[in-house]
Structure 1
Amino acid sequence: MHHMNPQRLTRLLAAAMLVAGTSAQAALIAHYPFDETSGGTAVNQVATGDGAVGANVTLGAAGVAGTAYTFSGGAAQADIVDMADAQGVFAPIVASNQFTLSYWVQSMDTGNRNVAVFMGNNTASNDYIDSGVLGNNQFAPAGSTYGRSRKATNTNVGDIGGGPVVNDGSFHHVAFAIDYTTSTGSFYVDGALVDTETGSFFAALPTLNNLEVGRLGRSSPVDGLAGTVDDLQIYDVVLGPAQISALYANPGVALPEPTTLGMIVAGAGLLSLRKRRLAAC
């Protein structure tokens, strides 16, 4: 019989307790731990949509939870992880009209827009969702993180982000969420809400036919990431503050589904009861 590692059980239980009672039920549609240390595939532990790892991506780098992937800063195919047209990820987002990205990033770049995650249309130049670290101060303070959503437009672009400087060589947690039904976006850094925006720029979900890590994967790819990414999770709901806090406090642990949460709590209760009975013997 397989027994769950006590430390992992403790972390899962902590996450379960933090998210219990929140309005949005966790609906994880992609989880890339980036724990592979060899090979050419980044595995999605939840659904279809594994990624092809480019030759210039370094596997086995030190991560915040296990190992991570380091990116060279280039924007060629060899410089990225390419999940391509990951409909196992995209279809639930289209159905719900909302999403949350959660990932950890480490960078010291000071001169460029470093795109960590791209979801969008690779046949157009201006139809996508992206998030990463700004080495420059294009639309948020230099050295901070950002999120962006644009639906085939060069003028009505939804930019969100800011918060603390993160290009300091340490890992930082980023969570970026949009509800296109209410035209509202929220952005968190290291578990804290740093920006909320509402407007028509968040009213329409971009076309989704390409998921990449490490560059802006539009029709003419640019803005390669110079840095390291760990533990990318994607949800088809907008997570709340308590859920984001749980992700920040428990690197590498995805939020449990309601049924899983109940099993964790029940299992922890049985374990505690068994320990008490053994102690009484």
Structure 2
Amino acid sequence: MLARVRSCHHAFRLAVVVAAAVVAGGCETIGSDLSDLARGLSMPTPGEAARMAVDPGDADRRREGTLLLANAPFGGDETYVRIYRDYAANERDPLVRSVAIRALARHGEPDDAMIIAEQLTAESLPVRWEAAKGLQRLHQPDVVPALLRTIRQVDETPAVREACAIAAGQYPQDRVFQALVSALDARDLEVNVAAAWSMRMLTGQDHGLDPRPWLRWYNDADDPFAGGQEYLYPTYTRPESWFEKLAFWSTPLREQPAPPVGLRSAAERTTYDDDPPGDGGE
């Protein structure tokens, strides 16, 4: 009887905490976080996720299943990578194809960059954006022409050009440097900043956003790429949600910047902390 009373008391305290957070947090944020809570309490099994990913009649299920597989610890299994490749090249639904490109960039091989690069000319903006970001994670020099065409394409969305300019920072080639210098004259600041960042990676120099000092230095340098820095693709970070803070028993893994596949060994493929914070990690 005492155990039942204690159990009810703990449940009541948790309900009070959740209610207080709802009052303090705002409807939109709380709605999103409660959706996270619901998903966390009813996650599909690996088998269910796989069946969702290959559902021929429901694009939403294919998208969700593919995303679940890609984010799972076993998402790099060759069986699933073949699904990502097929969807990245052939899927008609643009949102499913976008998720597949993201998954292939995370788990694929250098040659998969060629499949992704073809999507830089897709009609769908989400597809082109995922392709541009995906090429930051895979090292394949044969994609350089596609990257440079997109960087120079003035009618392309700035976010896509920016992502391609960042991806170009892993290729120490004269044509890459020249395209990045030209991108400093683009109308959009994010493209300018991305081009300057990549030139710093390629050369170890920092001449700001003015192309003239960059060109003067480059023309005088015997080996302009001798001082290049290690290229690490950028990763997305965000503050913890209130539910993540409340769910102290489940610490989310944070992806860390890393060299692209093709510039690192298979043993270094994971980009997550080996130990989550609180369990021996930082």
TM-score norm. by structure 1 comes to 0.28
Q: Highest relative contact order (Cα 8 Å, sep 6+), 1 or 2?
A: 1
Greater C-alpha radius of gyration: 2
Higher strand share goes to which structure? 1
Higher helix share goes to which structure? 2
